Amino acid sequence: MLSQNFFSILIALKFIPTALSQSYTQNAHFKGRDFFGAFNWETFDDPTHGRVNFVDQGTALNTNLSYADNDVFIMRADYHQIVPSYARGRDSIRITSHDAWGDSLLILDLAHMPEGCATWPAYWTISKNGPWPQGGEMDIIEGVNLNSNNLASLHTTTNCTMPQTRDQSGQVISTNCDAAVNYNQGCGVASTTPNSYGSGFNNNGGGWIATWRSPNAISHWFWPRNAPNVPDEIRQGDCGVVTPGDNWGTPDATFVWSQCDYNSHFDPHQIIFDLTLCGDWAGNAFPTAGCGPGNCQDFVDNTPDAFQNAFWEINSLTIYTPQS
């Protein structure tokens, strides 16, 4: 009897702390040149109809639109050439990870994001299986033109909505995630943390963005570079084990599954960083964005200087998966 009780206690000790603490172990860490091996440089026409010409990796390296050393990875739109009207658009980049992840914790240490009129940068994930919107889309950093607040959204198949009130500091913009309604607006939450997007983010040295995806929720936290409360495991960026959510405070945005079945709307996702110009969102918003006079395409074609700050500068991206 004694040994049987002892065994039961061992079982309890083994499983209860694991279930409560939800530890995640490092699965991948991308820094500097790692991005060249881990991501594909896409060259298709921008599906959002941007005035861009996505270039392949070789071209990006030859023209320095993508650059890495031991410490940073940079990718950008061209800021030297006038774009002829017959061209597909201004040279830019869209990279997609070869691998895909389901439940996970993504920690991005970002020094700079593309900013300025006509820009529409995004750091986001999409189902590897698809076809879109099957398997879901998760937008982590997104905005256009001179926006100052980051927008985090989900886009899904039908029957996925979000409650108005959730555990988040951000502002609810829309609650229906179904890509087939509201012209694919998705369900979005705007960050209310200062310097979460654009020139404010960049002038402040960027910061850290943590994304925790689980069967309980998808939550995003943002800590500006000078935040006093950045958790050690976030600042360090290359840990073996992380327990997400511990002392991280209220997330900027949270998406929950009370009105959305997680397993039927989300499957493993690839990670994408891109920079498009004009197109369905930035182009339509351009006339009222304080970027005029003129239209978005003329601006892109004829003012290369305006794109000097249209670049991503990534310090590292670390991915953790649930400890089994």
Ligand X SMILES: *[C@@H]1O[C@H](CO)[C@@H](O)[C@H](O)[C@H]1NC(C)=O
The residues that are catalytic are 137, 142
* Residue window 159-198: x/- pattern of binding to ligand X, with contact defined by CB under 6 A: x---------------------------------------
Q: Which among 261, 275, 268 is positioned nearest to 319, based on CA atoms?
A: 268
> Taking the CB of residue 265, how many other CB atoms lie within 10 A of it?
22
Our CB check for ligand X shows the closer of 115 and 233 to be 115
- Helix, strand, coil tally for the chain in percent (to 5): 20, 35, 45
Stretch that binds ligand X, among 9-17, 117-125, 145-153, 255-263 (CB under 6 A): 255-263
Stretch that binds ligand X, among 37-45, 116-124, 254-262, 277-285 (CB under 6 A): 254-262
* Residue window 147-166: x/- pattern of binding to ligand X, with contact defined by CB under 6 A: ------------x-------
- Does the protein bind ligand X through residue 129 (CB under 6 A)? no
Q: What angle do CA 116, 124, 119 make, to 5 degrees?
A: 15
Closest separation between CB of residue 160 and ligand X, Å? 7
Partner residues linked to 95 by β-bridges: 41, 273
Strand extents, DSSP E, 11-85: 24-30, 39-41, 52-54, 66-68, 73-76
Stretch that binds ligand X, among 4-12, 43-51, 228-236, 258-266 (CB under 6 A): 258-266
> Taking the CB of residue 32, how many other CB atoms lie within 10 A of it?
17
Looking at 18, 21, 62, 64, which residue binds ligand X (CB under 6 A)?
64
Q: Which among 51, 90, 47 is positioned nearest to 297, based on CA atoms?
A: 51
Residues of this chain that bind ligand X (CB under 6 A) = 64, 67, 74, 159, 259-261
